[in-house]
Structure 1
Amino acid sequence: MNATVRRPGAWLAAAAAVAAGAVLIGHVRLDAAPPSFDEAWYLEVSFKLWNALSDGRLLDFAREYAGAFRFKAPLVSVLPLPFYAILGPSYDAAVLANIPALALLAWSLYGLGRRFFSDAAGGLAAAFALSFPLNAALSRLLFVETWLAALTAAFLWRWAESDALRRPAEAPRLGVLLGLGLLSKVSFFIPPSLPVALSLREARPAERPLKLLLTVAAAIALTWYAWNLVYVAGYAFKASFGDIAAKYVTVPPWDPASLGRFLAALLREGPGYPGSLLLALCLGLLGRRALTEPGLRFAMAWLLPSIILVAASRSKDLRFLAAALPGAALALAGALDLVTRERRARLPILTGALALSWTVFALQAAGRAPSLARSDYGSTSRPASAWDTEALARTLSGAAGPGAVIVVGAEHRQLNANILSAWAVRDRLPVTFIHYGHMEGRVEAAVARLSEKDATHILFVDGLQPDQLPSMVPGVDAALRALVKRGALPFKDAGAVAIGGDLTGKLWRREGTIRMSGS
Structure 2
Amino acid sequence: MQKFTLDRAIFHLQSVRQRPALQLFAGWAVAAVVDRLWLTLDRRVPAWDQADYLTGSLNYWHAFQTPQWLSSEWWTQVWLLSSKIPPLTYIATVPFLNLFGTGFDRATLVNLFLSAVLLWSVYGLGRHLFSQQVGVWAALLCLVFPGLVAVRLDFLLDYPLTAATALAFYSLTLWRDRPESWLRTIAFGLALGIGLAVKQSIVLFLAVPLLWLTLELCVSRQWTKLLQFVVGLGSSSLVCGWWYRTNWLLVLTASKRATVDSAIAEGDPALNTLSAWTYYLQHLPEQASWLLLAIPIAGFVKWRLSNRSSLSPSPVLPRQSFVWLAVFLLGAYLLCSLNVNKDLRYSLPLLPVLSIALAWGLSAWGWRTRWLTAAVVAVLSVIPLQPTTEFVPAMTQAYVGLPFPHEAAIEEIVRTEPYLQTTLGVLPSTSTVNQHNLNYYGALSNFRVYGRQVGVRSEDVPQDVRSIDWFVTKTGDPGSVPSAYSEIVETVERGGEFALHRQFPLPDGERLNLYHRQQPWVTVTLQDAPGVTEGVALDSVLVPPRVPPGSPVPVTYEWSGSWESLRRSVVLLTWRQQIDEKTIAEPAFWLHDRSIASGLLASKPLQVAERCPKTGILHPDGQSDFDSCTFEISETTAMLPPADLPPGTYVLEARYLDLNTGQAQSIEIPSVAVEVDLSAPIISAPELDWETQLRQLAKALPQGTSALDPVFSEISRINQYDPVQGYLDRAIASLEYRLERDPDRLDWAYTVGLAWVVKKRPDKAISVFERVVALDVNNPYAYAYLAVVNLADWHPIAARNAIETALSIDPSLPELHVLDGIASLMVGNLWRGYRELRLGLSAMAESS
Which TM-score tier does this pair reach, normalised by the shorter chain? 0.7 to 0.9
**1:224-276 Cα shifts (integer Å, max 9, x gaps):** 11122232234345433x12321221643454567666533222212x11222
Shift of the 122–156 alpha-carbon distance from structure 1 to 2, 3 Å rule, reads: same
| 1:44 alignment partner, one of 55, 74, 80 | 55
Q: Secondary structure at the match of 1:35?
A: coil
Question: How many corresponding residue pairs?
Answer: 489
Asked whether the equivalents of residues 49 and 61 of structure 1 are also in contact (C-alpha less than 8 Å), the reply is no
**Which residue pairs with 1:230 in the alignment?**
249
Alignment of 1:426-441 (within 5 A): 426-436=444-454, 439=456
| 2:209 alignment partner, one of 195, 204, 213 | 195
* Structure 2 CA distance for aligned equivalents of residues 35 and 148 of structure 1: 19
* Structure 2 CA distance for aligned equivalents of residues 149 and 395 of structure 1: 40
**1:11-51 Cα shifts (integer Å, max 9, x gaps):** 33332222222222112211111221111112222212212
* Structure 1 CA distance for aligned equivalents of residues 92 and 394 of structure 2: 21
- Counterpart check, 1:444 vs 2:454: no
- Counterpart check, 1:394 vs 2:411: yes
Per-residue deviation, 1:119? 1.0
- Counterpart check, 1:351 vs 2:371: yes
Per-residue deviation, 1:320? 0.5
Shift of the 357–436 alpha-carbon distance from structure 1 to 2, 3 Å rule, reads: same
Asked whether the equivalents of residues 52 and 61 of structure 1 are also in contact (C-alpha less than 8 Å), the reply is no
After TM superposition, the structure 1 stretch with the greater mean CA deviation from structure 2, 359-368 or 3-12, is 3-12
After TM superposition, the structure 1 stretch with the greater mean CA deviation from structure 2, 249-258 or 149-158, is 249-258
- Counterpart check, 1:496 vs 2:501: yes
Higher gyration radius (CA): 2
Per-residue deviation, 1:93? 1.0
Shift of the 424–395 alpha-carbon distance from structure 1 to 2, 3 Å rule, reads: same
| 2:261 alignment partner, one of 231, 240, 243 | 243
What is the identity, as a one-letter code, of the residue corresponding to 1:444?
Answer: E
**Which residue pairs with 2:526 in the alignment?**
none
Per-residue deviation, 1:445? 5.9
After TM superposition, the structure 1 stretch with the greater mean CA deviation from structure 2, 304-313 or 35-44, is 304-313
What is the identity, as a one-letter code, of the residue corresponding to 1:151?
Answer: A
* Structure 2 CA distance for aligned equivalents of residues 42 and 446 of structure 1: 28
**1:338-392 Cα shifts (integer Å, max 9, x gaps):** xx2xxxx632333333333323223333379xxxxxx996433223564321221
After TM superposition, the structure 1 stretch with the greater mean CA deviation from structure 2, 59-68 or 414-423, is 59-68
Asked whether the equivalents of residues 44 and 403 of structure 2 are also in contact (C-alpha less than 8 Å), the reply is no
Shift of the 354–484 alpha-carbon distance from structure 1 to 2, 3 Å rule, reads: closer
Normalised by the length of structure 2, the TM-score is 0.53
Asked whether the equivalents of residues 120 and 139 of structure 2 are also in contact (C-alpha less than 8 Å), the reply is yes
After TM superposition, the structure 1 stretch with the greater mean CA deviation from structure 2, 137-146 or 196-205, is 196-205
- Counterpart check, 1:28 vs 2:39: yes
What is the identity, as a one-letter code, of the residue corresponding to 1:266?
Answer: L
After TM superposition, the structure 1 stretch with the greater mean CA deviation from structure 2, 280-289 or 18-27, is 280-289
Per-residue deviation, 1:485? 7.6
**Which residue pairs with 2:705 in the alignment?**
none
Asked whether the equivalents of residues 8 and 119 of structure 1 are also in contact (C-alpha less than 8 Å), the reply is no
Asked whether the equivalents of residues 154 and 177 of structure 1 are also in contact (C-alpha less than 8 Å), the reply is yes
What is the identity, as a one-letter code, of the residue corresponding to 1:215?
Answer: G
Which runs of no fewer than 5 residues in structure 2 stay unpaired? 1-13, 308-314, 522-635, 637-685, 694-712, 718-848
* Structure 1 CA distance for aligned equivalents of residues 459 and 303 of structure 2: 61
Q: Secondary structure at the match of 1:82?
A: helix
Asked whether the equivalents of residues 297 and 361 of structure 2 are also in contact (C-alpha less than 8 Å), the reply is no
After TM superposition, the structure 1 stretch with the greater mean CA deviation from structure 2, 425-434 or 252-261, is 252-261
Q: Secondary structure at the match of 1:122?
A: helix
| 2:286 alignment partner, one of 268, 291, 302 | 268
Alignment of 1:35-434 (within 5 A): 35-56=46-67, 62-163=75-176, 166-203=180-217, 204=222, 206-240=225-259, 242-249=260-267, 251-255=269-273, 262-270=280-288, 272-284=289-301, 293-337=319-363, 340=364, 346-366=366-386, 378-383=395-400, 386-399=403-416, 402-434=420-452
Per-residue deviation, 1:209? 3.0
Asked whether the equivalents of residues 183 and 221 of structure 1 are also in contact (C-alpha less than 8 Å), the reply is yes
**Which residue pairs with 2:28 in the alignment?**
17
| 2:687 alignment partner, one of 507, 513, 516 | 513
Per-residue deviation, 1:279? 3.7
Asked whether the equivalents of residues 387 and 415 of structure 1 are also in contact (C-alpha less than 8 Å), the reply is no
**Which residue pairs with 1:371 in the alignment?**
none
What is the identity, as a one-letter code, of the residue corresponding to 2:182?
Answer: P
* Structure 1 CA distance for aligned equivalents of residues 302 and 393 of structure 2: 33
Shift of the 12–366 alpha-carbon distance from structure 1 to 2, 3 Å rule, reads: farther
Per-residue deviation, 1:151? 1.4
Normalised by the length of structure 1, the TM-score is 0.83
* Structure 2 CA distance for aligned equivalents of residues 199 and 250 of structure 1: 33
Asked whether the equivalents of residues 27 and 381 of structure 1 are also in contact (C-alpha less than 8 Å), the reply is yes
Asked whether the equivalents of residues 46 and 81 of structure 1 are also in contact (C-alpha less than 8 Å), the reply is yes
| 1:457 alignment partner, one of 469, 481, 498 | 469
Asked whether the equivalents of residues 367 and 379 of structure 1 are also in contact (C-alpha less than 8 Å), the reply is no
What is the identity, as a one-letter code, of the residue corresponding to 2:501?
Answer: A
* Structure 2 CA distance for aligned equivalents of residues 159 and 12 of structure 1: 25
What is the identity, as a one-letter code, of the residue corresponding to 2:498?
Answer: D
* Structure 1 CA distance for aligned equivalents of residues 344 and 277 of structure 2: 12
Asked whether the equivalents of residues 10 and 122 of structure 1 are also in contact (C-alpha less than 8 Å), the reply is no
* Structure 2 CA distance for aligned equivalents of residues 376 and 302 of structure 1: 33
What is the identity, as a one-letter code, of the residue corresponding to 1:331?
Answer: A
Aligned-residue RMSD, C-alpha: 3.4
What is the identity, as a one-letter code, of the residue corresponding to 1:209?
Answer: Q
Asked whether the equivalents of residues 60 and 81 of structure 2 are also in contact (C-alpha less than 8 Å), the reply is no
Per-residue deviation, 1:102? 0.7
Asked whether the equivalents of residues 186 and 233 of structure 1 are also in contact (C-alpha less than 8 Å), the reply is no
Shift of the 28–385 alpha-carbon distance from structure 1 to 2, 3 Å rule, reads: same
Per-residue deviation, 1:427? 2.2
* Structure 1 CA distance for aligned equivalents of residues 41 and 355 of structure 2: 29
What is the identity, as a one-letter code, of the residue corresponding to 2:207?
Answer: S
* Structure 2 CA distance for aligned equivalents of residues 404 and 117 of structure 1: 58
Shift of the 250–358 alpha-carbon distance from structure 1 to 2, 3 Å rule, reads: closer
* Structure 1 CA distance for aligned equivalents of residues 395 and 404 of structure 2: 21
* Structure 2 CA distance for aligned equivalents of residues 56 and 258 of structure 1: 46
Q: Secondary structure at the match of 1:496?
A: strand
What is the identity, as a one-letter code, of the residue corresponding to 2:324?
Answer: F
Per-residue deviation, 1:415? 2.3
What is the identity, as a one-letter code, of the residue corresponding to 1:109?
Answer: V
Shift of the 24–484 alpha-carbon distance from structure 1 to 2, 3 Å rule, reads: closer
Per-residue deviation, 1:321? 0.8
Per-residue deviation, 1:64? 4.7
What is the identity, as a one-letter code, of the residue corresponding to 2:397?
Answer: T
* Structure 1 CA distance for aligned equivalents of residues 125 and 148 of structure 2: 18
What is the identity, as a one-letter code, of the residue corresponding to 1:436?
Answer: V
What is the identity, as a one-letter code, of the residue corresponding to 2:104?
Answer: Y
What is the identity, as a one-letter code, of the residue corresponding to 1:354?
Answer: A
* Structure 1 CA distance for aligned equivalents of residues 131 and 501 of structure 2: 67
Shift of the 484–16 alpha-carbon distance from structure 1 to 2, 3 Å rule, reads: closer
* Structure 2 CA distance for aligned equivalents of residues 312 and 207 of structure 1: 29
What is the identity, as a one-letter code, of the residue corresponding to 1:269?
Answer: Q
What is the identity, as a one-letter code, of the residue corresponding to 2:437?
Answer: I
Which runs of no fewer than 5 residues in structure 1 stay unpaired? 369-374
**1:416-447 Cα shifts (integer Å, max 9, x gaps):** 2222222222322444321128x4xx433666
* Structure 2 CA distance for aligned equivalents of residues 331 and 40 of structure 1: 35
